[in-house]
Structure 1
Amino acid sequence: MPTVRVSVMRCDPNQFAEFRQMMAESLDVLAPGIRQMRGLIHFYSGEDEASHALAQVSLWRTLEDAKQLDTFQPMLDLGKVFTSKGARFERPIMNYVSSWEIVPNH
């Protein structure tokens, strides 16, 4: 079953711009390894300035595929950098096994 993985990081309002920049810079570090992972369908990184949150949402073929990120060392290393600067990650990371889906009519 497809799995949607959601990771949310929150920060203080005065740190949002810094963390947004750090997240943008993380693409070069994370993308090569994530692209090679088994079962990846799509990966998004986004931000919500109103709630001072940044999120990563990814779609995987199976729960086992999604859980590869649990041990992906570049992501773990970056997480330590973010937390050392005051970021707060919501735990546990959520992996939603799909119940149903809606696709466009076109």
Structure 2
Amino acid sequence: MAKETGTYLIPAIQKLPGLLSYYAGASPDGSMVHVSIWDSEEHADQMSRLKEMIVDARRDGKAAGVDFIPIVNYPLCWAI
């Protein structure tokens, strides 16, 4: 499922201003995580309004049995 949703999520996310990096991973047991780095909290919040994420990927995920949690923005405390 991660590869399929990437076909429409990647181009949509790449168009958003302020994106510094984005990672999506899927474990062998089927859990998934998306981590993105943005230049501001305002830009990070775009993901909670991105149609391809909140409508299309949610629809496709639910059809595959995925449970979603709300998108959470975590301000960075430190980095290496």
TM bucket normalised to smaller: 0.7 to 0.9
2:43 is matched with 65
What RMSD over aligned residues (CA atoms) do the two structures have, in Å? 1.4
2:71 is aligned with 1:89: no
Q: CA deviation at 1:48?
A: 1.7
Unmatched runs of 5 consecutive residues or more in structure 2: none
> Could you tell me how far apart the structure 1 residues matched to 2:7 and 2:66 are?
20
Larger fraction in strand:
1
- Asked which structure has the greater CA Rg, the reply is 1
> 1:32 aligns to what?
11
Bigger relative contact order, structure 1 or 2 (CA pairs below 8 A, ≥6 apart): 1
Q: Deviations over 1:18-69 (max 9, x none)?
A: xxxx21122221111211111100011101224x311111111111111101
TM-score normalised by length of structure 2: 0.85
Map 1:1-106; keep pairs closer than 5 Å.
22-50=1-29, 52-76=30-54, 77-90=56-69, 92-102=70-80
Question: Cα distance, 1:81 vs. partner?
Answer: 2.1
TM-score (norm 1): 0.66
Post-superposition, which runs of at least 4 consecutive aligned residues in structure 1 deviate over 3 A?
A: none
CA shift digits 1:58-98 (9 cap, x unpaired): 111111111101111111222122113321112x3221101
Structure 1 gap segments, 5+ residues each: 1-21
Distance 2:64 2:27 in 1: 19
Aligned equivalents of 1:46 and 1:63: distance in 2?
23
